[in-house]
Amino acid sequence: MIELPASELARIDRLLAGGQRRLLGLVGAPGSGKSTLAQALLDALPPGRAQVVPMDGFHLANVELRRLGRADRKGAPDTFDSAGYVALLRRLREQREEIVYAPEFRREIEEPIAGAIAVLPQTQLVITEGNYLLLDEGAWAGAAPLLDEAWYVDVDDELRRERLIRRHEQFGRSRDAAIAWVENTDEPNARRIAATRSRAQHVIRIDD
């Protein structure tokens, strides 16, 4: 569990003060705690006020990654449907009358599931979280301008790597395979993400 600083909640109150729907982006390296923070924010807000729309719902399916020859670097920027993600953000901003459905990534099967997350017309805050929200390459470059605010989730690198290894083990990899995946796949991605940190409006540091 994480303790949410009052200053972060006050920031959200300010963001929502105008009454319109707002999009908050949480960005950070693999394992930095984005999903955990997004859930903590959701729990801290009144029921129905916010919904979490994770970027990792836009992972390409394994069958498509194999077709493209990219299965061994799942998690890299070109292993997501980045244009689809940006189109969904645009749709969420428009806040039309209907429910907008978002996909969700399921770690147990390592595949996204379409239509898993419902964003209701009255949802005021959409919290979208992921690795490449601030990347200035290809279709990803269209994401940042659609966010009302982006927070960079910062954490001690050693702690982050240890958590990632543990999570890979929990989802079935041996310790050696988990370490190899973190070093060869997660860490190159982490460096690209760290390079986008200066584009965030706010940095939140979580080290406990």
Ligand X SMILES: Nc1ncnc2c1ncn2[C@@H]1O[C@H](COP(=O)(O)OP(=O)(O)OP(=O)(O)O)[C@@H](O)[C@H]1O
Q: Rule CB under 6 A: which residues touch ligand X?
A: 2, 28, 30-36, 56, 131, 163, 167, 206, 208
Task: Report the distance separating Cα 207 and Cα 37, nearest Å.
Answer: 12
* Coil/strand/helix, residue 83: helix
Binding-site partner at residue 21 among Mg ion, ligand X, none, CB < 5 to 8 Å by type: none
Are the beta carbons of 116 and 57 closer than 8 angstroms? yes
Compute the least distance from the CB of residue 122 to ligand X, in Å.
26
Longest dimension (CA), the chain: 50
Are the beta carbons of 100 and 91 closer than 8 angstroms? yes
State which residue, 35 or 95, has the beta carbon closest to Mg ion.
35
Binding-site partner at residue 131 among Mg ion, ligand X, none, CB < 5 to 8 Å by type: ligand X
Compute the least distance from the CB of residue 100 to ligand X, in Å.
22
State which residue, 95 or 187, has the beta carbon closest to Mg ion.
187
Are the beta carbons of 150 and 200 closer than 8 angstroms? yes
State which residue, 16 or 135, has the beta carbon closest to Mg ion.
135
Task: Report the distance separating Cα 204 and Cα 208, nearest Å.
Answer: 12
Binding-site partner at residue 79 among ligand X, Mg ion, none, CB < 5 to 8 Å by type: none
